[in-house]
Amino acid sequence: MTRLARPLNTLPLCARLRCARLALAAVLCLPAAPAAQETPTLTIDEECMALAYAPDGRIAYAVRHILTTKHLDLQRDDIWLVATDGKRRRLIHGEKLIQGPKVGGAVPFSYAIHSLRWSPDGTKLTAEMFTSQMINERGDTKEGVMTLLFDENGKEIRIAGADSVIPEGTNAAWLADGATLVYLQEAVKPNLLFSANAVRPAAGRGGRLFGEHVFLAVAWNAKLNIGVAIERDRSLSGPPRLVALDPLKDNTRELATLDGYVGGLSLSPSGARVAYYRDHGTLEVREMAVPERVARVRAAFGTYQWAPDERRVLLKRGIERRSGDLVWISLPQPVAPDPKAGAPAVAEVEPQPVLHGLSFRDFELSPDGRSLAVTQPGKRNLLVYSLR
């Protein structure tokens, strides 16, 4: 005869105390989340639009730059690099980055940098830009997005037979070979679904990846030459599917059909786990090798980054590009579903505040997890703190 476990509240008092002590011990055995020191190690008094850590700890950051002409005010952001010793140099001068034809004797082209990303070897970067181009004398404009390719010295990387930008290219990443770039382009308007593409700038060769598959979201782990995506039918019918991507072999592998997905797709640094929000209050984690193994944890919707040990994430609560506080969220171990109980319960963990619960607009955790870069609300000054 199968014996059923007794509910905790029916156990004798001494047994309940033993259970409580065991639970407390399990929590105390978790490694403490690193705290940030009180004073920043670096302060940059500029209006920072985006930032990204290089593998060696350098930081690339974009600075808002307004160019005043006779008739127009144009935004053309600069890109700077700060070394680990604090020395800074400008990589991209916005005034010299000219795109499009002249209208009325000038090139009425504006752009704001949305994101920056380093190659795994730290020698190349991509800059995703929101653009606005005046197309005629009447003042009509065309809005768009493009990705700029350049190296660590600020030299633009031109695609053979083309320019140094990928029109309508988003979420671009250099793969580990340093020669291949993967990126997304709009497949179903307006920005509902995307196709994946690749190009080798030196050869000028490239094209669409994964056949006719289209995706709601894609996350790359460029160091490992892999990706993960949320695949949907073009009609947006049926449930979302979690799929693994191999851009070098140009194939996909279905991992799981999801009950829900609302954003935040991310691959862990080792590529062993994938995380995403299944709803606006639950972060779900799956093992890539055994996707049936799942963990769920209560977490407010926001943007997050993995800690190097992959046992926690650093979360900025709130909408992306809006101010929010930073907290560490410890992740439970993924487990296989119980045939009787079904999917694992949502774990309740206590968020651990970082920087006294102050709000920040953006943040970036260094690859080694030893420093934290943040931008302040309003002024968008860039501050770097040491984590200990």
- Render pLDDT for 143-160 as a digit per residue (tens, 0 to 9): 999 999 999 999 999 999
> Would you place residue 27 in the very low, low, confident or very high pLDDT band (cuts 50, 70, 90)?
very low
Tell me what the mean pLDDT of segment 303-326 comes to. Answer: 95
Task: Please state, for a pLDDT cut of 70, what percent of the chain lies above it.
Answer: 88
- DSSP-derived letter for residue 22 is H
Given a contact cutoff of 8 angstroms between Cβ atoms, the answer to whether 385 and 361 are in contact is no
Evaluate if residue 3 carries a pLDDT over 80: no
Question: How far apart are the C-alpha atoms of 264 and 279, rounded to whole Å?
Answer: 10
Per DSSP, what are the bridge partners of residue 66? 75
Question: How far apart are the C-alpha atoms of 95 and 73, rounded to whole Å?
Answer: 12
Given a contact cutoff of 8 angstroms between Cβ atoms, the answer to whether 354 and 383 are in contact is no
- Token pair for 258: 């999801």
pLDDT of residue 21: 42
Per-residue DSSP letters for 267-297? E-TTSSEEEEEEETTEEEEEESSSTT-EEEE
Question: How far apart are the C-alpha atoms of 5 and 212, rounded to whole Å?
Answer: 51
Give the contacts of 262 (CB within 8 A, at least 6 positions apart): 277, 278, 279, 280, 301
Evaluate if residue 9 carries a pLDDT over 70: no
Evaluate if residue 12 carries a pLDDT over 60: no
Mean of all residue pLDDT scores within the chain: 89
- Token pair for 44: 């940059």
Per DSSP, what are the bridge partners of residue 145? 130
Tell me what the mean pLDDT of segment 212-216 comes to. Answer: 97
Tell me what the mean pLDDT of segment 237-243 comes to. Answer: 95
Number of CB atoms found within 10 A of residue 290's CB: 11
Tell me what the mean pLDDT of segment 78-95 comes to. Answer: 96
Evaluate if residue 107 carries a pLDDT over 80: no
Number of helical (H) and strand (E) elements in the chain, helices listed first: 1, 31
- Render pLDDT for 35-81 as a digit per residue (tens, 0 to 9): 566 799 999 999 999 999 999 999 999 999 998 877 778 899 999 99
- Render pLDDT for 243-301 as a digit per residue (tens, 0 to 9): 999 999 999 999 999 999 999 999 999 999 999 999 999 999 999 999 999 999 999 99
pLDDT of residue 119: 98
pLDDT of residue 344: 85
Question: How far apart are the C-alpha atoms of 258 and 302, rounded to whole Å?
Answer: 20
pLDDT of residue 96: 86
Q: Say what the alpha-carbon torsion angle 228, 225, 326, 372 is, to the nearest 10 degrees.
A: 180
pLDDT of residue 332: 96
Range from 130-134, 138-142, 188-192, 274-278 carrying the lowest mean pLDDT: 138-142
Question: How far apart are the C-alpha atoms of 25 and 69, rounded to whole Å?
Answer: 66
pTM of structure: 0.87
Question: Is the alpha carbon torsion for 352, 304, 54, 176 positive or negative?
Answer: positive
What is the residue whose two structure tokens read 């005010």?
73
Question: How far apart are the C-alpha atoms of 293 and 307, rounded to whole Å?
Answer: 20
Of 156 and 34, the structure prediction assigns the larger pLDDT to 156
Give the contacts of 118 (CB within 8 A, at least 6 positions apart): 52, 53, 54, 55, 60, 124, 125, 174
Evaluate if residue 23 carries a pLDDT over 50: no
Regarding beta strands 294-298 and 346-347, do their DSSP bridges make them parallel or antiparallel, or are they unpaired?
A: parallel
Question: How far apart are the C-alpha atoms of 144 and 111, rounded to whole Å?
Answer: 9
What is the residue whose two structure tokens read 């929590």?
27
Given a contact cutoff of 8 angstroms between Cβ atoms, the answer to whether 357 and 374 are in contact is no
- Token pair for 87: 């020395």
> Would you place residue 13 in the very low, low, confident or very high pLDDT band (cuts 50, 70, 90)?
very low
Gyration radius (Cα) of the chain, Å: 23
pLDDT of residue 7: 36
Given a contact cutoff of 8 angstroms between Cβ atoms, the answer to whether 263 and 277 are in contact is yes
Question: How far apart are the C-alpha atoms of 118 and 168, rounded to whole Å?
Answer: 19
Q: Is 218 helix (H, G, I), strand (E, B) or coil?
A: strand
Question: How far apart are the C-alpha atoms of 376 and 359, rounded to whole Å?
Answer: 8
Q: Is the peptide bond before 167 cis (omega within 30 degrees of 0)?
A: no
- DSSP-derived letter for residue 93 is -
> Would you place residue 16 in the very low, low, confident or very high pLDDT band (cuts 50, 70, 90)?
very low
pLDDT of residue 158: 95
Task: Please state, for a pLDDT cut of 90, what percent of the chain lies above it.
Answer: 77
> Would you place residue 34 in the very low, low, confident or very high pLDDT band (cuts 50, 70, 90)?
low
Evaluate if residue 366 carries a pLDDT over 80: yes
Given a contact cutoff of 8 angstroms between Cβ atoms, the answer to whether 201 and 124 are in contact is no
